[in-house]
Every structure is written in C-alpha cells, then in structure tokens.
C-alpha cells in the first residue's frame, strides 16, 4: 500500500493575510509591504496582462492590494528578497503609480 509521503506532495503556499483594499485608500499613506506575487491578470485593463498582489500593513492592520500598475510591478521585482518587509508610500504621478 502507498503512503502519503511517497507522493511527495508539498503544502500550498500560504495565502496573503488581510482584507482586500483599493489602491485609492492607500495613496499617499505610509504602508509596510510584507510580500508580493505576480500572476496573470484575470481582468485586462489598459493592456496590463499581469497582476501584482501585495500583502501590506497600514497602522499594523494587514490588507491585500491588487493592481495592474506596470510601474509598481517593475519596481517591486527589483527589491531583494532580504529587503522585505519595507516601508513605502504609493503616489500617483502622471497617471502612474510609483513607490517612494
């Protein structure tokens, strides 16, 4: 008889913690970014084919933020793995979101 161990099944990655929050609610406020992941977008807006998932904290309360912002997506990829968590503010400049 097989044992479960033989199947070499790994536990799924833990989900992000917190309630979903809109980016408009965090603009120009200091946040702490704990984790991120990038997936294919389920909603194509303005040509974005990727979706950035952020696990953030505002005043110690965790939230999950979803965005197709290319500026944020490209910037977060450059943060070293040992750079998490980090403080930042998301601002809107010329119709683009950016970390500051």
* Distance of alpha carbon 78 from alpha carbon 22, whole angstroms: 23
> Could you tell me if residue 91 is inside a domain?
yes
Torsions phi, psi of 3, nearest 5? -115, 155
Mean predicted confidence (pLDDT) in 72-100: 96
3-state secondary structure of 95: coil
Contact indicator for 26, 38 with CB cutoff of 8 Å:
no
27: DSSP letter = B
- The pLDDT, as a whole number, for residue 44 is 63
- The pLDDT, as a whole number, for residue 13 is 75
Residues spanned by the domain of 91: 16-99
pTM: 0.81
For 26-77, how does the pLDDT look when each residue is reduced to its tens digit (9 = 90+)? 999 999 999 999 999 877 655 568 999 999 999 999 999 999 999 999 999 9
> Could you tell me if residue 3 is inside a domain?
no
> Could you tell me if residue 25 is inside a domain?
yes
Cα 71 to chain centroid distance, Å, stands at 13
> Could you tell me if residue 11 is inside a domain?
no
Torsions phi, psi of 69, nearest 5? -60, 115
Domain total in the chain? 1
- The pLDDT, as a whole number, for residue 42 is 79
- The pLDDT, as a whole number, for residue 48 is 66
> Could you tell me if residue 1 is inside a domain?
no
Lookup: tokens for 79: 């943060």
For 3-30, how does the pLDDT look when each residue is reduced to its tens digit (9 = 90+)? 888 888 887 777 899 999 999 999 999 9
> Could you tell me if residue 10 is inside a domain?
no
> Could you tell me if residue 68 is inside a domain?
yes
> Could you tell me if residue 90 is inside a domain?
yes
Q: For tokens 């997506």, name the residue.
A: 73
Give the number of other CB atoms < 10 A from CB of residue 25: 10
């Amino acid at each position: 008889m097989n044992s479960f161990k033989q199947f070499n099944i790994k536990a799924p990655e833990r989900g992000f913690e917190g309630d979903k929050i809109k980016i408009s609610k965090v603009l120009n406020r200091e946040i702490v970014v704990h984790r991120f992941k990038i997936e294919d977008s389920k909603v194509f807006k303005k040509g974005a084919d990727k979706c950035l998932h952020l696990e953030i904290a505002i005043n110690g309360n965790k939230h999950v933020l979803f965005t197709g912002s290319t500026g944020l997506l490209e910037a977060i990829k450059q943060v070293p793995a040992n750079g998490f968590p980090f403080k930042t503010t998301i601002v809107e400049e010329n119709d683009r979101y950016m970390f500051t």
